[in-house]
Structure 1
Amino acid sequence: MEQRIALLGCGNVGKALIGILNRKGRHLEGAYGVRMRLVYVGDPRVGAAADSQGLDPGAVLEMLDRGALPEAFRGDVSEVVKSMGATVVADATPTDLRTGEPGLSNARGALSSGAHFVTTSKGPLAVAARELEEMARERGLKFLYEGAVMSGTPLISLIRNGLAGCSISRIEGILNGTTNYMLTRMAQGLSYPEALEEAQDLGYAEADPTADVEGFDPAVKLCILAWVAFRREIGVDQVDRTGISGLTGEQVERAARSGRSVKLVASLWTQGESIMAQVKPQELEADHPLHGIGGAVNAATIWTDHLGKVTVSGPGAGRDETAQALLTDIISIGRD
């Protein structure tokens, strides 16, 4: 099976995916029976490269390293799909969580033109998950987004495939690596300002860290998981949210001396016919599955009827890690 890929977004994640295809394209075809032909790469900042016969990923990387691609960027995704014969649009663009753009328009354009759509962006899901999944299903297409939660760590596919047949009653997760790193360092003696500065120096935290430290990022991820696990749409304003900016290093260190760990826990559970969602710092006892998750690692524990508690942990961010999620989704489409 051949997948003809149009890649939108040439930042860290997009370049990482091109790099994987360059290094491992033949191996992936042999291992999974899916030939991945890159036919379009575009980003409004650097231009575009297109070839319906297939681009050389190595040559594209060299052009990106020089800072420009040879063609003008085509903002119309439908045109790209039709002219290049793309079967999959891979979206690695930055996102606006309020509007879902530009990923939302990219998804609509791809699906309406007959191409599958895979994305790492939380925006389209936060705004229009039901619409996009129904749009894909009506056309016999796939809309996949493994990388939207926990990067390349396969939480979404675990819920949808690995736990198929189980009833899920609760999910608790450490879904933000920035705050988990900061809390780990605060438990080791750093103050809040010192931990934040270190996280920013290491690239974990943005210059404006509000989305992380005030809990917006994990709250949006809970909205996505509510749809994945319970097929219910909830808005970010329905998440009871408290961040970590009110914590002091002394509080976190004191809990650590008592054998507990402070984590920013994102929780989702059923209560009668309602779905409840909460993000807040919690002191976890040593026997809690998330107690020992340190650094920038993400993890989630899922309460099920057949298997009890199931916990998965792994990288929650990173260029290669997030590109792996796109790759997983593309391979899944090809194998199906």
Structure 2
Amino acid sequence: MRLVFIGFGTVGQGLAELLLAGREELARRYGLEWTVTGIADTVKGSAYDPAGIDLAGALALAAKGESLAALDRGGKGWDALGMARHAEADALLEATFTDITTGEPATSHIRAALERGVHVVTTNKGPLALHYRELAALAEAHGAEFLFEGTVMSGTPVLNLVRETLAGAEVLEMQGILNGTTNYILTRMEEGLSYEDALAKAQELGYAEAVPDADVLGWDALAKVTILANVVFGAALEPGDSPCEGITKITAADIARAKAEGKRYKLIGRVWREGAKVRAAVAPRLVDLAQPLAGVMGATNAVAIRTDALGEVTIVGPGAGKAQTGFAMLTDLLTIVRRRS
């Protein structure tokens, strides 16, 4: 399988490391034999070689902060969109930054690949939250796979769980902790830190960005519930269609009062059916300590899935991380191999 990386930051490098470490086993057990023909990154530069790029060499250059252009043998000078449009590839691995307001530039990369029948694996929430139906239809029209396990819970396979393991059951509601940063902040506040100190600690550990709005205002979780609504429930929602409230108004007094009542604050993303309509929302909620979601602490994510046949099934796991999100992309690649073999 000829692979092209669009975005070679933390997630792209995480996938690259997994591909290299498991090369023989992936071929032997799953039939995944791969060659990287292109890498494009806005910071690290681009390289194209239809005969195959030295992936270990690309990782070494990235670690030293040197340009990937040193590995270029194609002489095309393509940027990311040019690579998506023209590179010899069977699968495009899109792991660029998320823009939840426009979905760009990732949507253009994905669209360009699907239009020529190239499979796409992405971890980018923007295109899924804003353009899922269009991109899914484009993939079907051109006989390509379009997979995105890493968009909701990183390497924790909530989409695969619903699609494969819960096949035959109707999903009535999904609700959970979809943002590890806010869950970490709320955990530390319960331990006695102020909101400001808990946020500073999250930033120190790399959980929160210097400008943390996407996390603490609930936008990241909103993108994820929108994806769940559209992919699992068949809705046609956009992020702006659903109410969203973050955790910035929760005080130490609120946390203490909840604790005294045997409850705990969690930022909950929820999707549910209301008659013929599908609804979604993100807001802080008081969760009884007896509920599974109440026990999910730190930067961990969890989703409770209510079904008609099995009742409630809860999946818990890491919602971020280099290896974890890279693993989500790897599982999607293996799904392509399985479906196309």
TM over 0.5: yes
Q: CA deviation at 1:36?
A: 2.0
Alignment of 1:75 with 2:79, yes or no, is yes
User: Normalising by the residue count of structure 2, what TM-score does the alignment of the two structures yield?
Assistant: 0.94
SS in 1 for 2:247: coil
Q: CA deviation at 1:79?
A: 5.1
Q: CA deviation at 1:278?
A: 1.4
- The aligned runs of 1:123-272 (5 Å cut-off) are 123-272=126-275
Asked if structure 1 preserves the Cα contact closer than 8 Å seen for 2:6 and 2:80, the reply is no
Q: Which amino acid aligns with 1:53?
A: A
Q: Which residue of 2 aligns with 1:30?
A: 28
Q: CA deviation at 1:228?
A: 1.4
Measure, in 1, the Cα distance between the counterparts of 2:248 and 2:242: 18
202-211 or 62-71, which deviates more:
62-71
Q: Which residue of 1 aligns with 2:314?
A: 311
Alignment of 1:5 with 2:8, yes or no, is no
SS in 2 for 1:173: strand
* 1:56–1:204 Cα change, 3 Å: same
Q: CA deviation at 1:82?
A: 4.2
Identify which of 95, 98, 101 aligns with 2:98: 95
Asked if structure 1 preserves the Cα contact closer than 8 Å seen for 2:116 and 2:142, the reply is no
Q: Which residue of 1 aligns with 2:303?
A: 300
User: Normalising by the residue count of structure 1, what TM-score does the alignment of the two structures yield?
Assistant: 0.95
Measure, in 2, the Cα distance between the counterparts of 1:284 and 1:38: 46
Asked if structure 1 preserves the Cα contact closer than 8 Å seen for 2:184 and 2:298, the reply is yes
- The aligned runs of 1:321-332 (5 Å cut-off) are 321-332=324-335
Asked if structure 1 preserves the Cα contact closer than 8 Å seen for 2:40 and 2:83, the reply is no
* 1:99-128 deviation line (CA, Å, top 9, x unaligned): 111110001111112210110000111221
Measure, in 2, the Cα distance between the counterparts of 1:69 and 1:76: 13
SS in 2 for 1:206: coil
Q: Which amino acid aligns with 2:79?
A: G
292-301 or 22-31, which deviates more:
22-31
Q: CA deviation at 1:39?
A: 1.5
Measure, in 1, the Cα distance between the counterparts of 2:333 and 2:100: 24
Q: Which amino acid aligns with 1:17?
A: L
- How many residues align? The count is 333
Unmatched tracts of structure 2, length 5 or more: none
Q: Which residue of 2 aligns with 1:108?
A: 111
Q: CA deviation at 1:227?
A: 1.0
* 1:284-325 deviation line (CA, Å, top 9, x unaligned): 112212010000000000100111001101011111111111
* 1:170-224 deviation line (CA, Å, top 9, x unaligned): 1111000000000011111111111111111111111111111111111111110
Identify which of 35, 44, 50 aligns with 2:48: 50
Measure, in 2, the Cα distance between the counterparts of 1:200 and 1:331: 34
Measure, in 2, the Cα distance between the counterparts of 1:248 and 1:157: 37
Asked if structure 2 preserves the Cα contact closer than 8 Å seen for 1:44 and 1:73, the reply is no
Measure, in 1, the Cα distance between the counterparts of 2:171 and 2:17: 37
Measure, in 1, the Cα distance between the counterparts of 2:207 and 2:83: 36
Asked if structure 2 preserves the Cα contact closer than 8 Å seen for 1:34 and 1:335, the reply is no
Asked if structure 1 preserves the Cα contact closer than 8 Å seen for 2:120 and 2:145, the reply is yes
Measure, in 1, the Cα distance between the counterparts of 2:104 and 2:273: 30
Q: CA deviation at 1:78?
A: 5.9
Asked if structure 1 preserves the Cα contact closer than 8 Å seen for 2:181 and 2:207, the reply is yes
Identity of counterpart residues, as a percentage?
42
* 1:187–1:318 Cα change, 3 Å: same
Q: Which amino acid aligns with 1:110?
A: A
Asked if structure 1 preserves the Cα contact closer than 8 Å seen for 2:149 and 2:158, the reply is yes
**Aligned-residue RMSD, C-alpha:** 1.5
Measure, in 1, the Cα distance between the counterparts of 2:59 and 2:305: 39
Unmatched tracts of structure 1, length 5 or more: none
Q: Which amino acid aligns with 1:75?
A: D
Q: Which amino acid aligns with 1:69?
A: L
SS in 2 for 1:230: coil
